[in-house]
Amino acid sequence: MAREGGAERIGVGLVGARGYTGAELVRLVEAHPRFHLTFAVSRQGKGRPLSELCAGAETELVVEALEPAEVAARGTEVVILALPNGQAAPYVAAIEAAGGRAVIVDLSADHRFDAEWRYGLPELRREALFGARRIANPGCYATGAQLGIAPALGVLGGMPHVFGVSGYSGAGTTPSDRNDPEKLRDNLMPYALVGHVHEREIGHGLGVEVAFVPHVAPFFRGITLTIAMPLATTVSADALRAMYQAAYEGEALVAVQEEIPLVRDAAGRHGVTIGGITVDAAQRRAVVVVTLDNLLKGAATQALQNMNLAFSLPELLGVPR
Ligand X SMILES: NC(=O)c1ccc[n+]([C@@H]2O[C@H](COP(=O)([O-])OP(=O)(O)OC[C@H]3O[C@@H](n4cnc5c(N)ncnc54)[C@H](OP(=O)(O)O)[C@@H]3O)[C@@H](O)[C@H]2O)c1
Between 106 and 277, name the residue whose CB sits nearer to ligand X: 106
Determine if 164 is a binding residue for ligand X (CB under 6 A): no
Size of the chain in residues:
321
Query: CB of residue 256 vs ligand X: minimum separation in angstroms?
Result: 23
State in angstroms the smallest separation of the CB of 279 from ligand X. Answer: 31
Sole window of 16-24, 121-129, 154-162, 240-248 interacting with ligand X (rule: CB under 6 A): 16-24
Is residue 18 near ligand X by the rule CB under 6 A? yes
Q: Is 295 an interacting residue with respect to ligand X (CB under 6 A)?
A: yes
The verdict on 222 binding ligand X (CB under 6 A) reads no
Give the range of 10-18, 122-130, 203-211, 280-288 binding ligand X by CB under 6 A: 10-18
Binding ligand X by CB under 6 A: which of 12, 20, 30, 34? 20
* Segment near ligand X (CB under 6 A); pick from 31-39, 42-50, 111-119, 267-275: 42-50
User: From residue 170 to residue 189, what is the string marking binding to ligand X with x (rule CB under 6 A)?
Assistant: x-xxx---------------
Among 17, 57, 150, 289, binds ligand X (CB under 6 A): 17
22 binds ligand X (CB under 6 A): yes
As measured in angstroms, the least distance from the Cβ of 100 to ligand X is 20
Q: Which of 13, 120, 139, 160 binds ligand X (CB under 6 A)?
A: 139
In whole angstroms, how close is the CB of 306 to ligand X at the nearest point? 13
Q: Which of 222, 275, 298, 318 binds ligand X (CB under 6 A)?
A: 298
Paired with 7 in beta bridges are 4
Nearest approach in angstroms of CB 116 to ligand X is 19
CB closer to ligand X, 22 vs 120: 22
Nearest distance in Å: CB 3, ligand X: 30
54 catalytic residue (yes or no): no
Q: Does 151 bind ligand X (CB under 6 A)?
A: no
Taking alpha carbons only, the member of 298, 236, 245 closest to residue 267 is: 298
Per CB under 6 A, 42 contacts ligand X: yes
Which is the catalytic residue, given 140, 171, 216, 307? 140
Instruction: Say if CB 125 and CB 119 are below 8 A apart.
Output: yes
Which residues are bridge partners to 223 per DSSP?
A: 166, 292
Written in H, E and C, the secondary structure of the chain is CEEECCEEEEEEEEECCCCHHHHHHHHHHHHCCCEEEEEEECCCCCCCEHHHHCCCCCCCCECECCCHHHHHHCCCCEEEECCCCCCCHHHHHHHHHCCCCCEEEECCCCCCCCCCCEECCHHHHCHHHCCCCEEECCCHHHHHHHHHHHHHHHHECCCCEEEEEEEHHHHCCCCCHHHCHHHHCCCCEECCCCCCHHHHHHHHHHCCCCEEEEEEECCCCCEEEEEEEEECCCCCHHHHHHHHHHHCCCCCCEEECCCCCCHHHHCCCCCEEEEEEEEECCCCEEEEEEEECCCHHHHHHHHHHHHHHHCCCCCCCCCCC
CA distances from 241 to 51, 187, 238 (A): 43, 33, 5
Question: Of the two residues 34 and 122, which places its CB atom closer to ligand X in the complex?
Answer: 122
Active site residues: 140
Contact positions toward ligand X, by CB under 6 A?
Answer: 16-22, 42-45, 82-85, 87, 107-108, 139-140, 169-170, 172-174, 294-295, 298-299
